[in-house]
Amino acid sequence: MPEIDSGDTAWVLMSIALVLFMVPGLAFFYAGMVRSKNVLGMLMQNFFSLGLVSVLWVLLGFSLAFGEDLGGGFVGALDFVGLAGLGEIPGLEGALTIPPIAFVAFQMMFAVITPALITGAIADRMKFAAWVVFLAVWSVLVYAPVAHWVFSPGGWLFQRGALDFAGGTVVHINAGVAALALIVVLGRRRGWPGEAMPPHSLPLTLLGTGILWFGWFGFNAGSALGANGLAAQALINTHIAAAAGMCGWLLVERIKDGKATTLGGASGAVAGLVAITPCAGFVNTMSALAIGAVAGAVCFLAIQLKYRLRYDDSLDVVAVHLVGGIIGSVLLGVFADAGVNDAAPDGLLFGGNAELLVNQFIAVGATLAFSGILSLVLAKVIDLAIGLRVDEDDEAQGLDTTQHAETAYSFGDVRSLGRVA
Amino acid sequence: MKLVTAIVKPFKLDEVRDVLKGMGVEGMTITEVQGFGRQRGQTEVYRGAEYTVNFVPKVRLEVLLSADAVDGIVEAIVEAARTGKIGDGKIWVTDVEGVTRIRTGEKGSDAL
């Protein structure tokens, strides 16, 4: 057994809590953007990932992602089902300075938040029951294998030398393309894009953004798996990319639409955070600034895609997470700096080395293909079996009352009259 | 007896109230409403998507008066609520058949 370091362990335990807090952060980021009749529906699609995926992770997901490779680097074996016999993590023997169970918990939070990212695309129209089935199957059949490919030392992309510090491919591209596949089957909201569907509470969205930003320090700096210089570098990279993302988005928005909006500021910060995720522990601070700024500007422009191609990505999961994830994963091949982290080779800019860039493209392409196709099939099967969408009346009435029998906002005396049945 | 109903800009409500109170008006009812007239709606932008908001927020105030007080009160509301810009609102007057004060049962002008 390697030496357990108390400082490293303390930081990772802290990071687990930080990443956990991103789930309500994301929930409120999204919930502020939907209409008031769908707030609870949105919050619950996110929150329930904490319930369901956590359970599936300890039962099955962790073993598929980080168990002994079954061959070919595709998926882990079932030897850690129920966390039975959890010893050292295969491929990380002697490398971890934290207890393996802390590693399990840290990775669990990644498994929880990744499918939650998808919910922004499907807002206002998906049956809760259909979402639960998608969530369960996707986290086991799609998330766990992709996590194995990239994060497990036995995974084929890891072996190739593709890099992903905290989840550009595994988290953001994976969720982003799954969101696209799911809405292709699910269809548009009735009335979109002609009917106005404005956010009901941007203050909630801004609050959610702040929580996400805060939690992202655990996501990225925690991925150093130690309390050390690399974690500090990842932390400042994370912060600067978010800041530059906000500036980049607002600058382009101001030029194009005439106003710098609060939703734009929040969205730009998140775009910067997404793009820096794969790069956080592999690039220097100025590279992080560039990556964040590019992501902010490009993700803003990418929003127009849904109007051109007529898919209703309601809260822009594709434009922010898929496009942002691709920007970060590809730019890592350009900006990787062995001076920051000697576990990685130099990229195009610092070493004139295109090999990493090629590997990054392979990782992006493989994630897009695998997650995209499996998600499409899964969505189609669920649609045929139980139906993905709520019916027309329920969609008009909203998810809160029809899916959960509750109302988010109960203001005024008249609203609270009534008798117990 | 008459009912004076006025639609005014929300930020003008306090001025209107102060003036009417000064003129001896004993009470009024106000409601937050939305609507449109000659004033066009406003435009909002969310991630590049422009929405036109067709109904703008206004306040509706209702005052019960004896018939002889109506003209002066309408003038006073016009004076207090006017900004000169489009969207200042409207005032109309309707006949009221009867008024009853719930607490005492008083009727007619005694109930005003």
DSSP string, A258-319: S---HHHHHHHHHHHHHHHTTTTTTS-HHHHHHHHHHHHHHHHHHTHHHHHHT---TT-HII
Is the pLDDT assigned to residue A164 strictly greater than 80? yes
The confidence score (pLDDT) of residue A24 equals 98
| HSE of A258, CA atoms in CB hemisphere, 13 A | 5
CA distance linking residue A82 with residue A79, whole number of Å: 9
The confidence score (pLDDT) of residue A89 equals 93
Instruction: Give the chain B residue nearest A320 (alpha carbons).
Output: B47
Which residue, B92, B40, B104, is CA-closest to B62?
Answer: B92
Average pLDDT over every residue of B70-94? 95
CA angle A109, A364, A351 (to 5 degrees): 105
pLDDT band at B94 (very low <50, low <70, confident <90, very high): very high
Residues 6+ apart with CB under 8 A from A318: A121, A176, A179, A180, A302, A305, A306, A311
**Chain B residues touching A304 at Cβ < 8 A:** 48
- Asked if B48 lies within 8 A of A303 by C-beta distance, the reply is yes
pTM: 0.91
CA distance linking residue A333 with residue A160, whole number of Å: 14
The confidence score (pLDDT) of residue A48 equals 98
- Asked if A253 lies within 8 A of B48 by C-beta distance, the reply is yes
CA distance linking residue A18 with residue A22, whole number of Å: 7
Residue B62's identity, in one-letter code, is: E
CA distance linking residue A171 with residue A150, whole number of Å: 11
pLDDT band at A40 (very low <50, low <70, confident <90, very high): very high
**Chain A residues touching B50 at Cβ < 8 A:** 257
How far away is chain B from the Cα of A179, in angstroms, using its nearest Cα? Answer: 19
Contact A123, A315 (CB under 8 A): yes
Is the pLDDT assigned to residue A3 strictly greater than 90? no
Q: A186: buried, middle or exposed (CB in 10 Å: 19+, 13-18, 0-12)?
A: buried
DSSP string of chain B?
-EEEEEEE-GGGHHHHHHHHHHTT----EEEEEEE-SSS--EEEEETTEEEEE-SEEEEEEEEEE-GGGHHHHHHHHHHHH--SSTT-EEEEEEE----B-TTT--BGGGG-
- Asked if A300 lies within 8 A of B46 by C-beta distance, the reply is no
Task: Select the residue from A261, A312, A316 to test the B interface by mutation, using most B Cβ atoms within 10 A.
Answer: A261
Contact residues, A window 75-134, toward B, CB-based 8 Å cutoff: none
Terminal-to-terminal C-alpha distance of chain A: 61
The confidence score (pLDDT) of residue A268 equals 98
Q: Phi/psi at B30 (nearest 5 deg)? A: -125, 150
Which residue, A343, A355, A404, is CA-closest to A47?
Answer: A404
CA angle A81, A87, A89 (to 5 degrees): 85
Helices marked H in A119-173: 128-138, 144-151, 156-160
Predicted complex: ipTM over 0.90: no
Task: Report pLDDT digits (tens) over A79-135.
Answer: 999 999 898 999 998 899 999 999 999 999 999 999 999 999 999 999 999 999 999
List the single residue in B45, B48, B52 with the smallest CB-CB distance to A304: B48
Distances (CA, A) of A25 to A117, A143, A335, B87: 11, 21, 29, 40
Task: Select the residue from B43, B46, B52, B53 to test the A interface by mutation, using most A Cβ atoms within 10 A.
Answer: B46
pLDDT band at A2 (very low <50, low <70, confident <90, very high): low
CATH code given to domain A6-406: 1.10.3430.10
Average pLDDT over every residue of B37-60? 86
Average pLDDT for chain A = 96
Is the pLDDT assigned to residue A293 strictly greater than 80? yes
Which residue, A80, A77, A74, A78, is CA-closest to A149?
Answer: A74
Average pLDDT over every residue of A266-289? 98
The confidence score (pLDDT) of residue B77 equals 97
Is the pLDDT assigned to residue A416 strictly greater than 70? no
Distances (CA, A) of A331 to A225, A291, B108: 23, 7, 80
- Asked if B47 lies within 8 A of A196 by C-beta distance, the reply is no
**Chain B residues touching A316 at Cβ < 8 A:** 47
- Asked if B48 lies within 8 A of A199 by C-beta distance, the reply is no
Which residue, A53, A29, A45, is CA-closest to A125?
Answer: A45
**A199 touching B, CB under 8 A?**
yes
Contact residues, A window 231-270, toward B, CB-based 8 Å cutoff: 253, 256-259, 261, 263-264, 267
List the single residue in A198, A256, A300 with the smallest CB-CB distance to B44: A198
Task: Report pLDDT digits (tens) over A51-89.
Answer: 999 999 999 999 999 999 998 999 999 999 999 989 899
| HSE of B111, CA atoms in CB hemisphere, 13 A | 17
Average pLDDT for chain B = 92
List the single residue in B44, B47, B52 with the smallest CB-CB distance to A303: B47
How far away is chain B from the Cα of A196, in angstroms, using its nearest Cα? Answer: 6
Q: Phi/psi at A186 (nearest 5 deg)? A: -70, -35
Average pLDDT over every residue of B85-100? 94
How far away is chain A from the Cα of B32, in angstroms, using its nearest Cα? Answer: 14
The confidence score (pLDDT) of residue A92 equals 92
Total beta-carbon pairs less than 8 A apart between chain A and chain B = 28
Which residue, A47, A31, A23, is CA-closest to A409?
Answer: A31
Out of 3.40.50.970, 3.30.70.120, 1.20.1050.10, 3.40.640.10, the CATH code matching B2-111 is: 3.30.70.120
Average pLDDT over every residue of A164-178? 97
